[in-house]
Structures are given as structure tokens and as C-alpha cells.
Chain A
Amino acid sequence: MIGLGRGTGWMKRFTWMLAGIAAFTAAPAAAQTVAITGGRVVVGDGSEPIDGGTVVIRDGRVVAAGAGVAVPAGATVVDASGKWVTPGIVAGFSRIGLVEVDAVDASNDIQADTSPFSAAIDVVPAINPLAASIAVNRAAGVTRAVVSPATARSIFAGQGAVIDLGSDMQPITRARAFQFIELGEDGADEAGGSRAAAHVLLRNALREARDLRLPIGSGATRERPAAEAPIEDISENPYILPDARRPEDVLLTRFDAAALVPVLQGRQLLLVHVERASDILQTLALKREFPRLRLVLVGAAEGWRVAEQIAAADVPVIANALQDLPSSFEQLASTQSNIGRMRVAGVAVGIGMINDDEARQIRVSTQYAGNLVGIGRVPGHTGLSWNEAFAAITSRPAEAIGLGGEIGSLRPGRRGDVVIWDGDPLELATGVEAVWIDGVQQTLENRQTRLRERYREPREGALPNAYER
């Protein structure tokens, strides 16, 4: 059967469009030319919503979005009158797709507790596009996510990716988009017991990466200037060739050191999890020693205390929206005004899930963003405008991860990730009516919707519930 998710009568009017999208299908349906007309269009870049706008998607990309946009000949027209039309939600930090059930170790690829490797770890082989959580979060309008491994025995977690939440088997938007490290309490613990040890470990590791030597005559170039060029898989990294030379005094495996070369060269982002104000400043200071690092701060609960310095360093931040407890000694100054205050100071900041919502609940991004609007009405708080709040879960995280030209907004040329909502997407009562990813309309069905329907009437009928599907 065709999954309608949170379907309504309105939804049924274009049910035919879903024909061919079987539940849990492995192959993506073809991207069509689609024109979504009459809705309140939110571009996602912080601009004002446009009433009665049209969004056109062709060949998997946004062609145009706004008022006065012509409907191309032959386009499938979807009437979104009375609805909201937005880019899909982008989770600025998550672990979605790496785990099915957290407490079932065999299904959990978030961290590698006993691996000899750290920085070389690459989440790509672990992403499962058919994880239940992907379908559940897709049904709530999330279309892309930044997926990071977690640290285990080192400050280096490894390389994270940006993925889509489509119901196909090609989830990777950008492989090896970043290296993720811990430099706060967790980093101190992993480095042997102190922040000082974590910093010396990092400095040593980057030097070991710098000191890697290519084999003579390998032909590989030391420098790759294009900052946006894809980061090679470790097996293609020239620094692991068998006769590549290396000094004796090393702590990192060759794979791990080689994986840090693009970080050192500024070709790969370095996402650093820090919360405490002083840890943030120490992280920013790394750029003096390693000027080509492209840093992104993750967490930054006390970011508002040093917001001017973060803004001056031009380092983007992915922060928790609603962290307001001194959950640890590195988060003493937590407040829900953190993101708003950083933004006022000129910091580019998006929302991420640096908390228990990381693996399965990135769908609450909209609720988090809505709360940041709500606190604006409380004296003393600094919230976000609605437009900025929505940007904080779409274009801002996309820009922070270096993909602002690809995802996170409905500006022309972006991936065709579009959501139709039955109301204000940040409101609690609002539901998702349709989702496109790369221009392909998605099923909204998932295990949860199937269970709900099976137990609409819990008492067994003529046959046990197991026969109801």
C-alpha cells in the first residue's frame, strides 16, 4: 500500500503522485518537474515568507521559489493553497542513521570503543538509509542531516558526513565533510585526564599529519588547493602508500595521521565540541598555530559569554537550542538565550542535536526553533525572529557545514528538498503533508504509522492483530 503518513483529505487529492513509491522501496523514483503553487513559501535564508508563492523543482533541483514564478509546461502541479512550503529541515548535528536501537550494541555504530583507529574512521560505511529513525524523521520534514561519529578512546571521533533522509539506498550527500573532535570535558577524559593533555594531543597529531611525507616519485601533490574538493577515501590517500616515509616518534596510526592531512590543509572542516567559554577561546586560538584550520564550534553552551570573539574569528557555531541547565561544570552559564545572543553579536549559528536527541529525534528541531521564537516574549531573553529561527534549522547549519550552496534553502540551484506543512512548521500542532528529497516525492510511512494503524482498535477481531497490515 501507499504510505500517506499524516495524510488528510487534501493529501488524497494528489495521492496519485505517490503511485509507484512503495513503502521501504530500495530504488529512488525518478525526479519529476513539480510546481507547488499557492502556498506560503519560506525560502529558509532568513527572508520573509512569501504568500501565494510557487516553488518549481526540476531534475532534482530547485529552479525557482517565490512570487510570480511561472509554472513550466508539463510540470506536475501541486496546489498548496493554505499550506506552508519550505525547504526540508537540516539537522546541524546528529547521529542519525548510525544506530537502530542505542542500547542494542550490535545495531549501534556511533562509536568504536575498542578500535585502534580514531581520526581515520569514516561514518559512510555505517550509515543505514533504512534505519527506522530515518523514515520517522523524514515523515516529520527532516531531509538532511550532519552525521558525526562519537569519540571513544581518543579526542578524534573520525570523519562525519552529510546525508539525506530519502527512502533510497544512496544516502550520502557529502562524504567525509568534517573531522569531529572533543576538546572539553570529554576530550580531557579521552586524552588521559586533562584539557591540557587534550590540547597537546591535538597539536601533536596535527604535526604528525604535517610530517607525513609522500613517497618519492609518487606523483601525488602535497597540497590540494580547492577547499571544496571532495575528501578522498582513506584508501586513496597518498600518505598511506607503502613506502611513504615517516619519523619514528609517532602516536597516531598512519591511517589516522593521513586522515588529518586535509584538516591541516584546510580542505576538511574541523568540528570541535566545546561548551565552556574558556574552551571556546582556546579552540579559536588554534588558528594562530594552524592558520588554515576551518573550524566549526559544536555545543558552545557558554558561547554567549565570548560571542564577540567567536564573531571576530568568523567561526560558525552549531549549538543546542534549549540547553539551560548547568548539566556539567562546562555548561554553568547555559541559557536558552545563548543562540539569540550569539546571533546578535554577529555569530553565524545553527541548531544541532548535541544531546539525547542526536540519533532519533532530530525531528524536534522545529519545536526547538519555535521555542527560540517564544522566549523573545520573555523580558531579558534574546530569542530569534521567526525567519531566523527557521533559518537556524535549514540554511544556517547547511552554511556552517559548507553546503549552503547545495541544501538548506529554496534558492535556485539547491537540491529539491521541499516540505509542505499544514500550518506554521514551528508550531506543535503542525503536520507534514508531503516531502520531496532531491526532487523525489517520499513516502511518509514508517514503522510507527504502521503500528498506529494496527492498534487503532487494540482488541483482536476475528484474527489476531498479527494479521492486520
Chain B
Amino acid sequence: MKSTLVAAAAAAALLVGCADRTEGPAAASDRPSDRGSTRYTPPEDPYPSTYRPYPGAPTAITGATIFDGEGGRIDNGTVVLVDGRIQAIGGADTAIPEGATRIDGTGRWVTPGVIDVHSHLGDYPSPGVEAHSDGNEVTSPVRPEVWAEHSVWPQDPGFSRALGNGGVTTLQVLPGSANLFGGRGVTLRNVPARTVQAMRFPGAPRGLKLACGENPKRVYGNRNQMPGTRMGNVALMRQTWQRAAEYRDRRQREPNTARDLALDTLVEVLEGDVLVHNHCYRADEMAIMMDMAREFGFRISTFHHAVESYKIADLLRENDVCSAMWSDWWGFKMEAYDAVNENIPLVHNAGACAIVHSDDANGIQRLNQEAAKALADGRRMGIDISDAVAWRWLSYNPARALGIEEETGSLSVGKRADVVLWNGDPFSVYTRPQQVWVDGALLYDMNDPRLRPVSDFELGQPGEGDVK
């Protein structure tokens, strides 16, 4: 019996190794720091993605209003999904393959699946009990060694709500913001799964969560520990980046240098393999962070929450940093006091990258509605953005921020068939997803109770399998 187990484990290790070598661009294998090392070197991509697309039938949606996610709109349009990819998108004359399932999209809308760049599903799951509170490693303000994916509980019922009510097909799960360096974020396919590895977006770069402002200084200042001020935040961040740069240089000189998992994350940021997602509300702090990025030679992908982005939209454009924002959530703390309803359209209008994000298990179910409110508020102040262009906030821009825009985020030929058919205008409050495909697999259908995922937690409980 024992030997069988060992053999099984060895086979599993081989499989993992295989997956490691085949799983996409993030698995760069030529980092100089690893060359010639005699020390134990972990695989480039431990805990690799085991996600495989579920089977889907060739499908054509016809007669729909299509927002392609990059700003294009096709009326009376056709989208064809074959082998998990977008095979064709166009007008009524688009060729439909023989035998494809045809869905009449008349009076309905088709969009790319919604992408939430900021979620805590799985690491702050429902029910929100203490035993599930796995989003903040509040034991030190500098914790780049922790990975959000190691906290994700795949049975969080919130994933299915995001799918069926929100049309969310991809999401980044981030650590919380108690720490300056919160740890690595992970990008997931929104599919029910037994393991987080089976949800990991193949090849998607990992993220690093940084936090400015009130949270780190409050959490640690209350313990009489650094940081207790915003200047303490910046000083400790700078000291940490300095250590990372020195560690990177030392490892290049001396390959046998002991590995430091925390600094490894930061070196991957400095090398551009891990993307920075920076919780930062205030305009002045974002400006400091952009200077810090220049000082140490890293790039900030996105400021998250970014309540004051509208005050520095020009700087954000010049620095090519995205802002992930709410439409109107505000005032819960001092650094969220200066919110305006028009933040998203103002950032967009300045030529900077705007994203609608949730940070919330309820908000993620209505990101389309949040975009609609911001869009309307922008129009009332004279910022005229079309519906189709506004959809960029929900799919293409977040895909860019996550480094997966070659794979998803818009309905262009060859990309993953992450598609939502809405039962009306997705910027109307009266509209819900009718069907949702992830990689061409139909994983939600409002007309089919069997296509309503029920997590293990909800099985056998009151309300199991109900409409939600």
C-alpha cells in the first residue's frame, strides 16, 4: 500500500513537472540568478495551473448587439465560438460553421466576460467567519513572500454569484491591504473547481499587492511598530526595495546566495515578471509611488481604489498607470472622502487607463451596473463616451492590467471565448446574464437550473441550488 502511494506521488510530481514546462509565458526559465547555483532551486512555477477548459459545442450567437471590449460595436452582429476560442465576429453575413449551435441574440447584447482586477473571493469567502479570514498576513508590514492563491477557498459561493449574476469570467484575487507588501495576487478563471490550481489562469503573470496610506500605518502604528505614519510607509517601502535590488545583484554575483522568498517576489517585480497592483487612494500618494517606481526601476500596473485619480489623471496618463475604481463608493475612511461620481469618466477622458473594480463579493455581481452609473454621470458633465468604449473598463483594460490581454478581454478572433450573452442592454438595471461561456464552455444559463453551480458549502443547506 505504502509503495503504491509513493509511486502515485512520483507520477503526480512528473505530471506537475510537465505542466510546469508547458504552462505559458510566465514560466521564463533563464533568470540569471539561477544559473550555476548548486543550492536547491525550486521549479519556476510551483503550484502550476492545472486548469483545462471544459468542453464546449461550436456556438454562434446571431442578431445581437455586440460590444467587442476594445471599443467596437456591431449591431445585428454574430459571434462564433469554436474549440474554446473566438472563431469569428462580424455582421449578419458572418459565416457560421456547419452544425454549430445557433442562439438568437435578437434584442440581446454580447460582450466579453467581465474581468475583475480586484477581488478577495476565496481569501475572504462567504460565510465571513474568522476561520475563513485569510486575506491579510498581519504579522509584518512586509510580506511579499505570501501568495493569495494559498488562501483561496475554491468553495466560496461568491464565485458562482460573480459568474451568474455578474458575467465575471476572470478575476484577480489579491491579498488585503493591511501590509505595505501584501503578497502575490493570482489571476483565476471563474470556474468551479476542487483546487485553486484548477482555477489559475494559465500563463497569467502573478501580481504583487502594495498598499499606501491609512491601513498599514494604522495596523502597525497601533502596535507601536513601523510604519506609524505615511512617511514611515514610504521609508519602509524604499528600504525594502533597496534590499531587493541588493539581493538581486548579489544573487547575480554569487549564485549560491541563500534564497529569500520575500525578496524573490520583489526581484520578479524588478525583472517585470510580476505586476504591481497598488492599493492607493490619494492623489499625492500615487504621485509618490510613481516616483518610487522610477527610483527602483519597477512598473506600477494599476492603482487600486484610486478614489482621487481624477485629481492627477494627466500624471496617470503620462506614467501609463491604470486606475481601478468604484463608481460611487466613498467616505468610509478619510482617504476615501474626496470621491466624485465622475472619477472613472474623468480618468478615461484624460487618456489614462480606467477600470471598474469591485473589491467586494456583492459589487463583483454588478460591475456592469457600476460602469453604467459612472458612464451616465460622465455624460451629464459633458464627457461623451459611447457604451461600447465604456466596456473597455470592464474587460480590455483590466486584461491589460493583468497582462492577459493577448488571451482575453475582447472578442477578437483567436482569443479565449469568454463571452456573456445578456438578456438586454448590460448598462440597464433590468438586465442579467442569460448565458456565460468560459473558454467556449457554457457554464451558466439562466434558463437551465442544471447550469447553476452549487459549491460544496451550499450543498445540503437551505437554499441549495436556488436562484440567487
A333: Cβ under 8 A from any B Cβ? yes
**Set of chain B residues within 8 Å of A459, measured between Cβ atoms:** 314
Q: Mark A330-368, 1 if CB is under 8 A from B, else 0.
A: 011111110000000000000000011001110110010
* Nearest opposing residue in chain A for B330, CB measure: A360
Min CB gap B332→A, angstroms: 5
Measured between beta carbons, the chain A residues less than 8 angstroms from B430 are: 370, 373-374, 377, 427
Does A133 lie at the interface of the complex (its beta carbon under 8 Å from any beta carbon of B)? yes
Verify B333–A429 contact, CB threshold 8 A: no
A8 interface hit (Cβ, 8 Å): yes
Cβ of A423 to closest chain B Cβ, rounded Å? 9
Asked if B427 is at the interface (CB within 8 A of a chain A CB), the reply is yes
Residue numbers in B under 8 Å from A387 (CB-CB)? none
Which of the listed residues B373, B376, B427 has the most CB atoms from chain A within 10 Å of its own CB? Answer: B376
Contact of A328 among B128, B165, B466, B467 (CB under 8 A): B128
Contact residues in B for A336 (Cβ distance below 8 Å):
467-468
Alpha-carbon distance A449/B457, docked complex (angstroms): 44
**Among the listed stretches B63-71, B292-300, B336-344, which one makes contact with chain A, having 4 or more residues with CB under 8 Å of it?**
B336-344
Contact with A along B369-383 (1 / 0, CB 8 A): 100110111011100
- With a cutoff of 8 Å between Cβ atoms, the chain B residues found around residue A377 in the complex are 423-424, 430, 432
Interface status of A91 (Cβ within 8 A of chain B): no
- In the complex, are the beta carbons of B423 and A367 less than 8 A apart? no
Contact of A325 among B129, B331, B362 (CB under 8 A): B362
Partner of A101 from B337, B372, B428 at Cβ < 8 Å: B337
Q: Say which residue of B128, B337, B376, B428 sits within 8 Å of A431 (CB atoms).
A: B376
B interface secondary structure, majority: loop
Whether the pair B462, A277 counts as a contact (CB closer than 8 A) is yes
User: In this assembly, does A76 line the interface, its C-beta being within 8 Å of a C-beta of chain B?
Assistant: no
B376: chain A residues at CB < 8 Å are: 428-431
| Complex: A455 Cα to B331 Cα, angstroms | 19
- Whether A458 and B428, one on each chain, are in contact in the complex, defined by CB atoms closer than 8 angstroms, is no
Contact string, B347-382, partner A, CB cutoff 8 A, digits 1/0? 000100000000001100110010011011101110
Give complex CA distance A337, B432 in Å: 14
B129, A370: Cβ atoms closer than 8 Å: no
A378: B residues at CB distance < 8 A: 423, 432, 446, 467
A448 at the A/B interface (Cβ < 8 Å)? yes
User: Is B346 interfacial (CB 8 A cutoff)?
Assistant: yes
The reply to whether the CB of B320 lies closer than 8 angstroms to some CB of chain A is no
How many A-B pairs with Cβ below 8 Å?
Answer: 168
Question: Which one of B128, B311, B375, B468 contacts A335 once the chains associate, using CB atoms below 8 Å?
Answer: B468
B161, A326: Cβ atoms closer than 8 Å: no
Cβ B423 vs Cβ A332 within 8 A: no
| Nearest CB in chain B: distance from A36 CB, A | 21
Chain B positions within 8 Å of A329 at CB level = 127, 129
**Residues of chain A within 8 A of B341, CB atoms compared:** 448, 452
Contact between chains at A373 and B429 (CB < 8 Å): yes
Q: Are A458 and B467 in contact (CB under 8 A)?
A: no
Asked whether any CB of chain A lies closer than 8 Å to the CB of B334, the reply is yes
A103 lies within 8 A of B429 (CB): no
Given A333-B462, A377-B423, A431-B380: A451 and B340 within 8 A (CB)? Answer: yes
Min CB–CB distance B293 → chain A (angstroms): 20
Instruction: Check B427 against A429 for contact (C-beta < 8 Å).
Output: yes
Q: Are B310 and A455 in contact (CB under 8 A)?
A: yes
**Most interface-central of B372, B424, B429 (chain A CB within 10 A):** B429
B372: chain A residues at CB < 8 Å are 428-429
> B157 an interface residue at 8 Å Cβ cutoff?
yes
| Shortest Cβ gap from A14 to chain B (Å) | 18
Partner of B375, one of A6, A103, A367, A429: A429
Assuming A427-B428, A428-B369, is B463 touching A334 (CB within 8 A)?
Answer: yes
Q: Is the CB of A332 within 8 A of B468?
A: no
- B residues less than 8 Å from A359 (CB atoms): 331
Q: Does A102 sit at the interface, judged by CB under 8 A?
A: yes
Cross-chain contact A381 with B381 (CB below 8 angstroms): no
Contact with B along A437-460 (1 / 0, CB 8 A): 000000000011101100110110
Q: Which residues of A contact B423 (CB under 8 A)?
A: 377-378
Interchain CA distance A375-B431 in the complex, whole Å: 8
The reply to whether the CB of B249 lies closer than 8 angstroms to some CB of chain A is no
In the assembly, what is the distance between CA of A325 and CA of B463, in Å?
A: 10
Whether B362 and A326, one on each chain, are in contact in the complex, defined by CB atoms closer than 8 angstroms, is no
6 closest Cβ pairs, A-B complex: A370-B429, A333-B463, A103-B333, A429-B376, A333-B462, A428-B372
* 9 CB-based A-B contacts, threshold 8 Å: A328-B128, A332-B127, A371-B429, A380-B466, A427-B430, A451-B340, A452-B310, A452-B346, A452-B381
Q: A326-B463, A379-B447, A448-B340 provided; 18 other pairs, C-beta below 8 A? A: A6-B377, A100-B331, A103-B214, A132-B331, A324-B365, A326-B458, A327-B361, A335-B467, A335-B468, A337-B466, A361-B328, A371-B429, A377-B423, A378-B432, A427-B428, A429-B427, A455-B311, A458-B350
